[in-house]
Structure 1
Amino acid sequence: MNAYDGATAVVVGGSIGGLTTALLLRDLGFSVDVFERTPTALDGRGSGIVLQPDTLRWFTERSEQHPQDLSTSTEWVQYLGTGNEVVHRERTTWSYTSWGTFYRALLADFGTDHYHLGEYACGFDQDEQRATVRFVSGREVTADLVVFADGITSTARQRIDPAAALTYSGYIGWRGTVPEKDLTDDTRELLRNAITYTVVPHSHITLYPIPGEGGTGPRDRLINYVWYRNVPEGPELSEMLIDKRGIPGTVSIHPSQVQDRYVDEMRQSARRMLSPAAAEVVEKTETPYVQVVSDVRASRMADGRVALIGDAACAARPHAAAGTAKAAADAWALSAALEEAAGDIGAALRKWEPAQLDISARLLERVVDMGSRSQFSNTWTPGDPSLRFGLYGPGR
């Protein structure tokens, strides 16, 4: 008999990290329910994800879906100068997916019978035997194990480590996608088989191809980008984060809701600052959006029968392309610890926590340094191996 047959688990947060956790817990024998705060199916705003081994592991080891159906890949990493000249190029293969493509694939494996939308978790209590999650709807759910995968604004993190607060980096990321087929021939050819950077004083942009809604073919692919730009904390940032409805944001402003004057300025600056290829992608984005680049790290990830994973525990700047990989790594390590503990959930969480805290500390230290080099000290050098992607270290 499986040690967790008959055991129950609640996963708060139905995004990629939460779904990966739910699938792995179900494989251990838990009866799992996932609760997502948004009232409708998630869409990810078209964002791209660099696929690292931990992120993709569910599909390489457990799923009947094929990883190649969910991803695109490129063979080069290149840096373009402001005249589209290639200032550095090296052969390095990376694979990518779109947030929506990957989310839908995980949800297809988990199913929707135990996936609950429109439930915002606002608190929890526990004793030695069970944990109970409270939702703003008035619903309460009790389980043997509760995992909070509720992202950078996690309410559980505030309970488990009240001192863990978001720290603004000093810059924001403009994000967006453009259909590859809508680009000029020269730009499409330059970008199609590479992850591409343009580095300018106090700023840089990263671009790569991801699957579109129709699939991974040349007529379906999108060029995804993140353009990092400095915005001082205070009134300038606060004003920028008021959307068209007059609602202030804290972590992002959704597509179609960024004030037009900021979008206009961003497009004009792209023409002035970036390589022509990167500028074309930025200018052709119909609905760019803003992501506030911040860091937060909890000093604890486990409390009795309650765990934090992914961005709920540690949200780090995107420069190492390790956010979804960290969430998946947390989930796989938790599954392994639970399996080894043979039913003792508290012991499993205590054993699981130290290594995951160490991974998050090292990741956060590295991406803060990477961001400082690109946005402030201007020491981001094309081809520097210390700037490569990787959860566990550059290129790893």
Structure 2
Amino acid sequence: MASNYEGSRALVVGGSIGGLTAGLLLRDLGFDVTVVERTPQVLSGRGGGIVLQPDTLRWFAERSRRKPEEVSTFTNHLRYLGAGNAVLHEESVEWRYSSWSTIYRALFEDFDPDRYVLGEFAAGFSQDDDGVDVRFVSGRTERAELVVFADGISSIGRRRLSPDSAASYSGYIGWRGTVPEREVSRETHALLGDALAYSVGPDTHICMYPIPGPDEALSVGERLLNYVWYRNVPEGPELEEILLDKQGIPRPVSVHPGQVQDRYVAEMKEAARRLLAPAAAELVQRTAEPYIQAVLDIRSERMASGRVAVIGDAAFAARPHAAAGTAKAAADAWALAETLEASAGDIAGALAVWEPTRLKIGNALVDRVSQMGARSQFLNTWTPGDPELQFGLYGPGILTQAAPVA
């Protein structure tokens, strides 16, 4: 049914992983697609590791020139470490991982760079029965029959469709970083190199796994060991202070590598020695430029209106505990494309059909990761090996949409 959209234009606002996935799928439906990204240069070096769920890998499994194994690493074990690196729990389970930059570059290579516009920040939009006019701060206006906002947690699309939706701070931050695996000790590499590994302490936990190294290196010894370490910081002056970068500029979402104040980096590395298993502590202490992510929740009341859709983090931002952020963005895009394909050219009708299920999935995910965060950071009931703590977009260990949504 791709011919239903020949001659129709689609504009995707936001050129990260979710936006590129949407752009590629809409292009395959026959739309003339433009992706508009607000940064002035092609995105690179952003973010750390990604746990890959089927929705994230689906493009590579079904349509890309790159195969899943060309963009990912894998491990064979789930492992919890305790004092003295004691193994508290271990089971055989395979997971695949990548880095944000590896997946982004692979999607970008599959898209048409001439249809990827940089340096344009969307300011607002209006629509009529036939199309949508998107206005940019530069003075540029673009008109399309379909507009998809994939512009992250500060989304203009969400603010217009769900004006009462706002970010809610979880009570903790994520310290993130990577270390070349060749730089850690043999003992640490033996524990972390083939595992999704955790270390859990009072009001804290860290998650670790190997991801592609520089230049997408996948060989053991050339990869990076990636982590996110969750630490409680109360909302208010203490949080505001730690989210100031080295120039004193507030960074309410994340403080980038090399920009975290040195005093906080020093304290974090010292705390790792006291609070984490030795292998985890070594990883933290060897990190050259750790960075901070504020852990936030965002919910949307609407994801569609007329010919406008909002996907991924632009609609729902979920804490990373289910490893489902990129999977949800990809799943939103695939579901949108499939609904459009079945609609015989009725864009507004397709979006009205698409929206209810996506809202249900988004709310269920935010509910679940909020409960997981409470268990680890405040209730201290995060128990090694508990199946309720497994990754999964659609539920603990539930990785495909065929499963029922709670």
TM value normalised by structure 2: 0.96
Name the counterpart of 1:180: 181
Cα deviation 1:285-319 (Å, max 9, x = unaligned): 10100000000010110011100000001001000
Q: Distance in 1 between matches of 2:335 and 2:11?
A: 17
**Partner SS state of residue 352, structure 2:** helix
- The separation in 2 between residues aligned to 1:165 and 1:320, in whole angstroms, is 21
After TM superposition, the structure 1 = structure 2 runs for residues 317-356 of structure 1, keeping only pairs within 5 Å, are 317-356=319-358
Inter-partner Cα distance in structure 2 for 1:196 and 1:244: 32
TM superposition shift of 1:46: 4.7
**Quick check: 1:78 aligned with 2:69?**
no
Q: Is the 8 A contact 1:101 1:213 kept in 2?
A: no
Amino acid at match of 1:50: V
User: Is residue 147 of structure 2 the alignment partner of residue 146 of structure 1?
Assistant: yes
Q: Which residue of 1 aligns with 2:240?
A: 238
Q: Any runs of at least 4 consecutive aligned residues in structure 1 with deviations exceeding 4 A, and if so which?
A: none
Structure 2 letter corresponding to 1:78:
R
Aligned length: 396
Q: Does residue 313 of structure 1 match 2:345?
A: no
Q: Partners in 1 of 2:45 and 2:128 — Cα distance?
A: 36
SS of the residue 2:12 aligns to: strand
Unaligned runs of 5+ in 1: none
Matched residue type, 1:235 = P
Alignment of 1:244-283 (within 5 A): 244-283=246-285
Residues 16 and 106 in structure 1, CA contact (< 8 A), matched pair in contact too: yes
Measure how far apart 1:43 and its partner are. Answer: 2.0
Q: Distance in 2 between matches of 1:222 and 1:150?
A: 28
What amino acid sits opposite 1:294 in the alignment? L
Q: Tell me the secondary structure at the aligned position of residue 97 of structure 2.
A: strand
For residues 237 and 82 of structure 1, what CA distance do their matches in structure 2 show?
A: 29
Q: Which runs of 5+ in 2 are unaligned?
A: 399-406
Q: Distance in 2 between matches of 1:301 and 1:163?
A: 13
User: Structure 1 residue 44: deviation in Å?
Assistant: 4.4
Aligned counterpart, 1:225: 227
Name the residue aligned to 2:198: 197
Q: Does 1:39 align with 2:40?
A: yes
Equivalent position amino acid for 2:310 in 1: L
Helix, strand or coil at the partner of 2:175? strand
Deviations 1:117-144 (A, max 9, x none): 1111111111110101111111110000
Q: Which amino acid aligns with 2:117?
A: H
Look up the SS of the partner of 1:45 in the other structure.
Answer: coil
Structure 1 residue 83: Cα displacement: 1.2
- Provide the C-alpha distance between the structure 2 equivalents of 1:26 and 1:109, rounded to a whole number of angstroms: 11
Residue-by-residue CA offset, 1:39-68 (whole Å, 9 max, x unaligned): 122124351000000000000011121110
1:87-110, Cα deviation, whole Å (9 max, x unpaired): 000111100001100100000000
Given residue 253 of structure 1, which amino acid in structure 2 is its aligned partner? V
**Post-superposition shift, 1:82?**
2.3
2:289 aligns with 287
- Mapped to 2, the partners of 1:318 and 1:222 lie a distance apart of 19
Provide the rounded CA distance (Å) in 2 between the counterparts of 1:348 and 1:137.
31
SS in 2 for 1:297: coil
Q: Matches of 2:140 and 2:257 in 1, distance apart?
A: 32
> Structure 1 pair 43/283, CA: closer, same or farther in 2 (3 Å)?
same
Alignment of 1:87-102 (within 5 A): 87-102=88-103
- The aligned residue for residue 376 of structure 1 is 378
Q: Which amino acid aligns with 2:340?
A: L
Identity across aligned pairs (percent)? 63
Paired position in structure 2 for 1:366? 368
Q: 2:389 aligns with which of 383, 387, 390?
A: 387
Over the aligned positions, Cα root-mean-square deviation in angstroms equals 0.8
TM-score, normalised to structure 1, is 0.99
Distance (Å, rounded) in 2 between the aligned partners of 1:117 and 1:82: 49
Aligned to 1:48: 49
CA distance in 1 between partners of 2:284 and 2:58 (Å): 32
Deviation at 1:232, TM superposition (A): 0.2
Q: Secondary structure at the match of 1:3?
A: helix
How far does the alpha carbon of each residue in 1:179-210 deviate from its partner, in whole angstroms, 9 at most, with x for none? 00111111111111000000000000000000
**Structure 1 segment 84-123 matched on structure 2, within 5 A:** 84-123=85-124
2:390 corresponds to which letter in structure 1? Answer: R
Output the CA distance in 1 between the equivalents of 2:290 and 2:154: 22
Rounded to whole Å, the distance in 2 between the matches of 1:46 and 1:162 is: 28
